[in-house]
Amino acid sequence: MTLDMWALVSTLFKFGSYVGVSVALGTLLFVFLYRPALKRQIKFISVMSLVGAVSTVGYFLLQVGAFSQSGLLGMFDVDILKLLYATGNGDLLIFRAFGLVYFAAVWSVLNKILLRSHWSVTTSLLMPAIMSVLWSFSTVGHISDLAWYWQGTLILHIFVALAWIGSLQPLYKLVEGVDTKQVNYTLHQYSKIGTGIVILLLAAGLSLTYKLIILDNNQDSIEYLIALLSKVTLVVIMFGLAAYHKFNLAEKLKKGEVDKNKVALSIKRENIIGYSVLLITAILTTVVGINH
């Protein structure tokens, strides 16, 4: 496998890992928003959580292979496996893979209980998985060497960003599948949560950008800056679509001036852009990121 192909496969595995986490966090958001919508997503949530876990393991093995410099067979080099497992890469593997497998298992077996119980019960059952996957983001890379408050800022940024992206699929499925009155109510509640998400995302994102680019003097990392600009552009488009949904389509839907399928289609587009943000993030942290 060539270096370019190795980088491509690594990026795809990292992307799969991010998607799995976003589905788990988006599911938790819908626990508070409108749990009946998750009945349509039971199999999807379980499968994507497992895809995230498998992708996390695959990415770790590719790191082992790259470190051993002996191709595909090098991914199973016992000595290199032990060496990387003892580092932050091993911590990321354990925390994220465990969290996603736990989430998939609990969701698959107990989904009826999770959907019917009080939100506090559901949250308590899912929280070990949520805390585990979030903590995994602070174990490796440039951020692992920073002070606890920067690590906390990163975890907050990841939580709100991935929960937002992961909530878009159940949201547009809900808009497609329930009556207009319920859609109006859910969109109103979602817009309230969305306002908080946007504020937290901007605050955490700008703080981390200032830290990594300005304070750490990484202005000369051109590839990283270009990729970061692409990501920021897509996030701005998502902000614009979210505002369009809140102030235009949602209001027209209340007045009966627009069909709810048009609203669903627009949210679906936002969902696609959200996954594009995750893909660029995978590229940033795998191929061109600061300290990769």
Structure tokens at 253: 């839907």
CB 112 within 8 A of CB 101: no
Which residue from 91, 140, 92 is spatially nearest to 291, judged by alpha carbons? Answer: 140
Find all residues with CB under 8 Å of 160, minimum gap 6, and list them: 197, 200, 201, 204
What is the per-residue pLDDT across 179-231, written as a single tens digit (0 to 9) for each? Answer: 888 888 888 889 888 888 888 988 888 888 777 777 766 655 666 677 677 77
As given in the structure block, the two tokens for residue 228 are 């970061």
Residue 261 has pLDDT above 50, yes or no: yes
Give per-residue pLDDT as tens, 51-93.
Answer: 999 999 999 999 998 888 777 777 888 899 999 999 999 999 9
- Distance of alpha carbon 84 from alpha carbon 63, whole angstroms: 8
> What confidence score (pLDDT) does residue 67 get?
84
The helix/strand/coil state of 257 is coil
pLDDT over 70 for what percent of the chain? 92
Q: What is the pLDDT of residue 291?
A: 45
Structure-block tokens of residue 248? 């235009």
Question: What's the whole-number mean pLDDT along residues 25-53?
Answer: 92
